[in-house]
Amino acid sequence: MDLPAPTLEDIRWQAVLARSQEQNFLYAVTTQGVYCRPGCPSRPPLRRNARFYADAPAAEAAGFRACKRCDPKGERAAMQRAGVEAAMRMIETAETIPSLEALANNAGYARHHFLRLFKEIAGVTPRSYAESVRGRRLSAALAEGTRVADAVAEAGFGSESRVYETPGRHLGMTPGAARRGGQGETILTARAQSAMGPLLVGATVAGICFIGFAEDFAALEGDLRHRFPAARVEAAPDALAETMRAIITYIEEPKAALALPLDLRGTAFQRRVWEALQRIPFGETRSYSALAAAMDMPRATRAVARACAQNHVSLAVPCHRVVGQDGSLTGYRWGLARKKRLLEQERAARGSPD
């Protein structure tokens, strides 16, 4: 005998029991007089005491008030974000890195609580954020042709040794190379036609630094040169032949994750996001919020989305596997139709027998 199909309330109740973070409804508890998000950490109520509502106004119209633990209206979260954004502005405008205590006092929180909030919302610690600010200042000064020693001082590093102590940490290359726009580096490139249109691959001695497709070759090479304006760009189809074959094969019929040696250049946070993208299993997708949660930064969703958009090695760092919270396709540099095609092919390959 066929079992009756679950009702909408049955589905919502299971989401409450699972403490699902990705649901577009609220539940109320009649014995408590409060309404919550499905992911509320509070103990689930008895089924007979649960009521479901589409949004906060509907729950409040029924006489319920917002839970203080899960903050379903987002008021506490908005205050916390404002405090962290104020601290970020303080870091941006300071000549030297402010102390954690000064930042916490400015935001109105205790040090340890502020540190946790900053990591959740910004995705990095205040120290890492401050270092990225200094890195941007240094990069901008070098791009203007400022002498390395002067640029280092203006950026707030104090001495050149601080910049060179961890090669690539702040710029992805040495300050001298950054000042020269990549001068002294050679980017090998290869072109091909693929099922997704024109395909351009760029590689340094460290690995693949660019994969672009679906635009004309002039636009793709322009994008690559924008990253390395003074680097020597040299066509090397033979040297990249094996890599190109692997990428073309993947585009035509993906059967497994695309594994290539990569030269990923970005901030510490960006690289962390790109590494998280590479951990999304082949044939699966994640929402931006789920990706942020997997990185233990549930409130850094917007920062995660920005880092995904700054990925220069599409396919190898599979930003196409990130979708909207409701499963819908979201923005993709190479077009939503191509994103849909990639996801459908990966799902089909994952579901087919070996």
Catalytic residue annotation? 36, 319
| CA dist., res. 199 & res. 216, Å (int) | 9
**Which residue from 304, 308, 278, 307 is spatially nearest to 290, judged by alpha carbons?**
304
What tokens appear for 104 in the block?
Answer: 């916490």
DSSP string for residues in 56-99: HHHHHHTT-EE-TTT-TT-HHHHHHHHHHHHHHHHHHH-SSPPP
Element (H, E) at 350: helix 336-351
Instruction: Please say whether the dihedral angle defined by the alpha carbons of residues 110, 111, 114 and 120, taken in this order, is positive or negative.
Output: negative
Q: What is the dihedral of CA 330, 333, 337, 342, to 10 degrees?
A: -90
CB proximity list for 255: less than 8 A, separation 6 or greater: 349
Burial label for 298, CB within 10 Å (0-12, 13-18, 19+), is middle
| CA dist., res. 282 & res. 261, Å (int) | 18
How far, CA to CA in Å, does 116 sit from each of 111, 145, 158?
9, 38, 28
